[in-house]
């Protein structure tokens, strides 16, 4: 079934202009929202926790907008999988590149939160004349996993590190001078994590960002992907000053606060269908069914 879906997407990519494919993706997202299911319940729980000031109807509108944005990004993965260099450059533009280029040749970590255009942005970066390293979590479906890894490596600009390999390959890559495209904002359990606020909710958050920066002397440059109009923008922010500090908890709070501020600017584009609050402090009941 998955291979049939990939083949259908390939046909749609060949037949439709990219803007039309994106609009079709929005419709696909709305269909998924209408079908409901466990993922929709996860999204509803996350938005209830993060936006208690909104009433139920407003949160449903936000969740529906999220599905629309997610559906668009999902079908536009076709450009990452099969598109030409020119098509990808036309779909995803770069802003603030000077903040990135300023630190090339030095240890560098790109902080990339989980917005829906994350994969498109990551593949777009591989068009630069720079080799990157990026960490990825294997997808259970082997066909999708294969396509995602193909997209990240098809232009020859990325060294992929599986999350289960741990921190050592990331350290080696950073020390070699490879910019490390790092995604730290999901719940990976209690190991190497502390509870710090995210939208006011105590959230299990890995402390790898300040630890990697301290061990390697890397600068941290936030790299945020945003859907704008028919395409996407990868926006590099200035490198963080005074990071890391001598307080890992303070540094981890700073990371979450930055991500939260970005989410508030485009809440429909953050990936809400992940059990971000699955791991709870001792004694707290689970938040998901």
Range scoring the smallest mean pLDDT among 168-177, 202-211, 278-287: 168-177
pLDDT at 216 over 80: yes
DSSP 249-277: HHHHHHHHHHHHHHHHHSGGGB-TTS-TT
- CA 194 to chain centroid, in Å, comes to 20
Angle at 275 between CA 273 and CA 280, to 5 degrees: 155
How does the average pLDDT of the chain come out, rounded? 93
Q: How far apart are CA 130 and CA 225, in angstroms?
A: 19
Give, as one character, the DSSP assignment of residue 167: S
Tokens 């949160």 belong to: 59
Nearby residues of 197 by Cβ (< 8 Å), 6 or more positions away: 203, 253, 256, 257
R_g over Cα of the chain:
19
Residue 155 has pLDDT above 90, yes or no: no
Q: How many helices (H) and strands (E) does the chain have?
A: 11, 9
The average pLDDT across 199-207 equals 97
Q: Does the pTM of the predicted model rise above 0.85?
A: yes
Contact 194, 249 (CB under 8 A): yes
102: closest CA among 259, 216, 232, 237? 237
Q: 133-166 in b/e burial notation, b at 16+ Cβ within 10 A?
A: bbbbeeeeeeeeeebbbebbeebebbbebeeeee
Residue 154 has pLDDT above 70, yes or no: yes
Q: Look at residue 162 and tell me whether its pLDDT is greater than 80.
A: no
Whose tokens are 């006011």? That residue is 200
The structure tokens listed for 45 are: 């729980």
pLDDT band at 157 (very low <50, low <70, confident <90, very high): low
Q: What is the largest CA-CA distance in the chain?
A: 55
Q: Which residues contact 260 (CB under 8 A, 6 or more apart)?
A: 198, 199
State the helix-helix crossing angle for 118-125 and 142-153, rounded to 10 degrees: 40
pLDDT for 163 beyond 80:
no
């Amino acid at each position: 079934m998955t291979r049939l879906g990939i083949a259908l997407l390939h046909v749609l990519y060949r037949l439709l202009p990219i803007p039309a494919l994106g609009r079709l993706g929005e419709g696909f997202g709305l269909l998924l929202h209408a079908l409901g299911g466990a993922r929709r319940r996860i999204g509803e729980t996350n938005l209830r926790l993060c936006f208690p000031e909104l009433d139920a109807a407003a949160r449903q509108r936000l969740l529906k907008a999220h599905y629309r944005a997610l559906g668009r990004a999902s079908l536009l993965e076709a450009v990452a999988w099969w598109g030409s260099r020119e098509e990808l450059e036309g779909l995803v533009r770069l802003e603030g590149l000077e903040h990135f280029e300023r630190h090339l040749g030095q240890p560098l970590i790109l902080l990339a939160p989980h917005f829906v255009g994350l994969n498109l942005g990551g593949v777009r970066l591989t068009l630069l004349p720079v080799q990157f390293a990026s960490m990825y979590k294997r997808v259970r479906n082997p066909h999708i996993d294969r396509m995602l890894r193909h997209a990240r490596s098809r232009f020859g600009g990325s060294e992929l590190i599986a999350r289960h390999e741990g921190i050592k390959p990331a350290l080696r890559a950073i020390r070699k001078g490879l910019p490390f495209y790092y995604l730290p904002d999901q719940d990976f359990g209690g190991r190497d994590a502390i509870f710090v606020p995210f939208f006011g909710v105590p959230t299990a958050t890995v402390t790898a960002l300040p630890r990697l920066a301290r061990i390697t002397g890397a600068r941290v440059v936030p790299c945020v992907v945003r859907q704008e109009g028919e395409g996407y923008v990868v926006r590099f922010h200035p490198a963080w000053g005074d990071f890391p500090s001598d307080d890992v908890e303070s540094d981890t709070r700073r990371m979450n606060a930055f991500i939260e501020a970005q989410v508030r600017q485009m809440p429909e584009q953050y990936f809400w269908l992940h059990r971000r609050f699955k791991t709870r402090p001792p004694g707290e009941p689970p938040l998901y069914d």
